[in-house]
Amino acid sequence: MSNDNVALTDEDWSQFACHVVDAAMKGNRELAVDIAVIAIGHESFQSTFAERIKEMMSNYVLSERKAEEGIVELIALLLITKWPREHARCGLESNAILFSIISSIKGWLMAVIGETDEVEEVESSCACALYEVCRYAQRKMWMNWPELVDECYDAAGDALTSNITLSKEARKALLDALIMIQGWTSRNAKTLVNVSTQTEARKALLDALIMIQGWTSRNAKTLVNVSTQTYKTRI
């Protein structure tokens, strides 16, 4: 992006970062991620891109989510993409983009378990956003960020068993996230989900919730409420 005749200034890189984010929100998310990986070494690009991502993640849960509809898919792609080795960690100095994303997600987790002063609607919005990130990132999120997934699992479990202010939609989203994560860490894979801090009662409740969700899933046999079913009389 520079040669003997052209050299981009810090302001140019900053403006370019804004254009890349805007393009991502218009649907060109995979291209935007590829560009971010290439341009990550330019500090102005990196810092501006990170600031925009952080702002949009905040807007997604604080206001009408449709306003930033593509942001969860974008951050999922950024989490699971292959970064240059020197920028593969989420430190502020090595990769401000990853740092902003993971810091924001951890903020969502605190809101979900009720450790912030956010209103109930924001807590529920954070829960739904968390599920959406997991849904887009899939198992690669666990492979790339096992400790973050561990925190997501614990927070979802804590919220389901203790945060009674969450909406029905949010509780379903968290339960779906738990089921998804358990699928990532199945018996055939080395599990990194920390269950050592769960009480027996909490673990039993979560297992029951997951079991019930499995019974009533689209791919499972439908449970029939026999108390309301009408049977034909045998002849």
142 contact partners, CB below 8 Å, separation of at least 6: 149, 181, 184, 185, 192
172 contact partners, CB below 8 Å, separation of at least 6: none
**Fold category of 10-215 in CATH:** 1.25.40
Look at residue 210 in the predicted model and tell me its pLDDT: 58
Band (pLDDT 50/70/90 cuts) for residue 231 is very low
Rounded Cα distance, 78 and 73, in Å:
9
Global model pTM greater than 0.95 = no
Residue 211 tokens, joined: 């079991």
Extents of the domains making up the chain: 10-215
Of the candidates 134, 125, 166, 172, which has an alpha carbon nearest to the alpha carbon of residue 152? 134
Look at residue 86 in the predicted model and tell me its pLDDT: 92
Band (pLDDT 50/70/90 cuts) for residue 203 is low
In tens, the pLDDT along 174-197 reads 999 999 998 887 754 444 444 433
pLDDT for residue 216 is more than 60 = no
Q: Are the C-beta atoms of residues 99 and 91 closer than 8 Å to each other?
A: yes
Determine if residue 231 is left, alpha or beta; phi over 0 gives left, psi from -120 to 50 gives alpha, anything else beta: beta
